Chain A
Amino acid sequence: MYLVPSLVMFGCGVFGFITRKNMIAILISLELMLNSVDINFVVFNRFLYPEQTEGMFFTLFAIAIAAAETAVAIALIINVYRVVKNVDINQLTKLKF
């Protein structure tokens, strides 16, 4: 039951990641996927091993890492924006051979 929204969320994440051009939108899709995985951890923990807490701690750490990752990614995006005045992923071809 609880896995269904997580499933849909993940699907949306994948769809967004593949189709969007804006780097921030891609990052948002990434967050969606991460979040759905978090839900999965918690749900499995609660329903299969209610006596233990690994799932919960894993989610806790995942959230922390996600936050860090987002911060760095946004710093990168802003820097890129400063240089090329654009955040569309298919226009960043300066380093391409």
Chain B
Amino acid sequence: MPLSYTILVIAIPLLMFLFLGLAGVKMGKKLTGVLGVCAMGVTTVIAYAVALTYFFGTGDGQIVDGVRQQLVLNDWTWLKFSENLVVKLGVLLDPISAMMLIVITTVSFMVHLYSLGYMSDHHGKPEKGFQRYYAFLALFTFSMLGLVVSTNIFQMFIFFEMVGVSSYLLIGFYYTSPAAVHASKKAFIVTRLADLFFLIGIMVLSFYTSTFDFKALMANPTNALASAQGATFMGCSVMAWALTCIFIGGAGKSAMYPLHIWLPDAMEGPTPVSALIHAATMVVAGVYLIARMFPLYVLEQGAMDIICVVGAFTAFYAAAIACVQSDIKRALAFSTISQIAFMMTSLAVSTADGALIEIHEGYGLGYMASMFHLFTHAMFKALLFLCAGAIIHAVHSNENSDMHGLHKFMPITSIAFLIGCLAIAGIPPFAGFWSKDEILVACYAKGMGWGLWMSMVAGLTAFYMFRIYFLIFFWKKHEIHTEHAPADQPWTMTLPLIILAAISIVAGFVPAGELVTWDGAHLHTQLNWSVAGASVLIALVGIGLAFKLYYKENELPEKMKNALPNLWEAAYRRFYMDELYQFITHKVIFQNISKPIAWFDRHIIDGTMNLLGDVTNSASYAIRRLQSGSIQGYVFVYLVGALLIAAVTMICVMI
């Protein structure tokens, strides 16, 4: 299939959004859903064809000197302000964007299909707002696809915003519930704040390099950095600042500490949405952004160090919180944060030797590992979320205290969930093992400390995932609360689970080193047995611990909780981050800054304006009798005036 068909992959969701959004109300709900699923299916097929053509095709100058090239397929000038300040829209294909096409369309298709079942009640009757839901899903898919094929930073920024908007719309889908409204607002404001930094970063970067174009920037990153030589701000080069700002933008979308606060709340949206947006695609936008600008980052060590520290910290922080959450979706959300931090760290442990780009162990590997993990994580995390959705749909609750012992009732879901857990825990041969192992290798290459830290987080991951698993499906006998006994869901919901579970099993065997590398050259990886063995061991320890604590109902967890009540409480409350934000925004900013400003605005500025208006108003009211509308009166007054002037003139002449 010709590569130029990529444009179709983007166009179909857009058209579907417009069509479903405009005509959806007129159509039946079922028809809308089926249409959305079919369109997404077609998109997926085309995306696969394009990506496979890109990865394995040899025509059209795809490979030069054994290196797979970045291809700019279309590049339309959209806004041309001046010679350098040109905003273009286009399609860029390179290994990571081709990979992202696959990831997004796959997960999106699964979610579309799954939603047919999930967004219906038990009698298969679609919910209110079904058409709107599908229209927004299409919009989101479009924005995300547009984001990954961006040819320049500005296009990426535009789609970044659109992704944020569609995420906002979908989180707030149940707009009658105040929690959903608050969550959507929170998500929008936090990511928007981060995007402000992103925009600043873009401006600084493009001011010095005088281009937005990725290809131009990446073709010669040393030059791009040299263009800002000597320009410093607060002791650091402006480029470091620019790249850090751009990272903050990415961190907002990818929920890095301390901008992660929106993601757990975003779970108020429908579960398939959480799977699509807040697990598999949107949250990796930040990682993708860094990966896209990797050649620049790798030369700017300061920015890289920041990312590294933030990523490593977030990974641990989120994993620790995930260990105690009782809401299944929130636990998965924190797991997502932790895994994305893994990717970030993996990107950031890459180092370069001075200005010379030279591949050594760790460099390039980290990039590859990060993208590989992105791919596998999207699959198994979507799987986990969809499983969670199926469970929630069955028992109508998010709390795992309402679940327990579901294994008997929902065997397929249970097995799928188990596969997801094994994958995320890093047990061979499941997908997560391969990618996580390579991340760990990259970390060990950076330094022993980084490696040990990340290994520990990996162990924690295994522990909390199996904690959730055991608490949901075992622990004790299920008590039936509703009139329906929980059971496996209809085929529209089960089929995606099976497909994704299958992908999660085999995805690790994708030769990512051959396909997804930062410079298009092959990177031959082999399993580092010592690291792999250690990580598997740690994961097994984590699983064993979880098994011991949570497989059967016992007193141990309660005892642990009572032994360290403060720590447990702090972790359960996410280490008081939300309260801290609340405190800062409400007590500090609102109270001390906004209130006085509001008072000034309301009383001084508005007061002045009101005064002017009131004075004019009352003065006009007082003298409105003068404007009687009687011409004859006017003429009389005029005449009197003329006579007076004549009299004055006469007196003057006489004197």
* Chain A residues with a Cβ under 8 A of chain B: 14, 17-19, 26, 89-90, 92-93, 95-97
Contact = CB atoms under 8 A, between A and B. Distances in A.
Contact of B630 (A19, A89, A95, A97): A89
Interface stretch (B109-117, B126-134, B223-231, B631-639): B631-639
Contact of A26 (B624, B629, B631): B631
Contact of B629 (A14, A18, A19, A95): A95
Which 5 A-B pairs rank lowest in CB-CB distance, beginning with the nearest?
A18-B632, A18-B636, A17-B635, A96-B629, A18-B635
Contacts of A17: 632, 635
Contacts of A26: 631-632
Interface string B617-636: 00000001000111110011
A30 to B, nearest CB: 10
B630 A90 contact: yes
Contacts of B624: 97
A90 B630 CA distance: 7
21 contacts: A14-B635, A14-B639, A17-B632, A17-B635, A18-B632, A18-B635, A18-B636, A18-B639, A19-B632, A26-B631, A26-B632, A89-B630, A89-B631, A89-B632, A90-B630, A92-B629, A93-B629, A95-B629, A96-B628, A96-B629, A97-B624
A17 B632 CA distance: 7
A10 to B, nearest CB: 11
A92 B636 CA distance: 19
Contacts of A95: 629
Nearest to A95: B629
Contacts of A96: 628-629
A19 B631 CA distance: 11
A92 B629 CA distance: 9
Interface in B601-653: 624, 628-632, 635-636, 639
Given A17-B635, A18-B639, A96-B628, 18 more contacts: A14-B635, A14-B639, A17-B632, A18-B632, A18-B635, A18-B636, A19-B632, A26-B631, A26-B632, A89-B630, A89-B631, A89-B632, A90-B630, A92-B629, A93-B629, A95-B629, A96-B629, A97-B624
Nearest to A93: B629
A46 to B, nearest CB: 26
A23 to B, nearest CB: 9
A65 to B, nearest CB: 19
Nearest to A21: B632
A73 to B, nearest CB: 12
Nearest to B636: A18
A96 B633 CA distance: 15
A39 B530 CA distance: 119
Question: Which of B628, B629, B636 has the most chain A CB within a 10 Å cutoff?
Answer: B629
A67 to B, nearest CB: 21
Nearest to B631: A89
A36 to B, nearest CB: 15
A18 B631 CA distance: 8
A18 B638 CA distance: 11
A19 B633 CA distance: 10
A96 B624 CA distance: 10
Interface string B483-507: 0000000000000000000000000
Contacts of B636: 18
A15 B639 CA distance: 11
* B624, B632, B636 interface centre (most CB from chain A within 10 Å): B632
Contacts of B628: 96
A92 B631 CA distance: 11
Contacts of B639: 14, 18
Contacts of B630: 89-90
A15 B631 CA distance: 13
Nearest to A19: B632
Nearest to A20: B632
Nearest to A97: B624
Contacts of B632: 17-19, 26, 89
A58 to B, nearest CB: 21
A90 B628 CA distance: 10
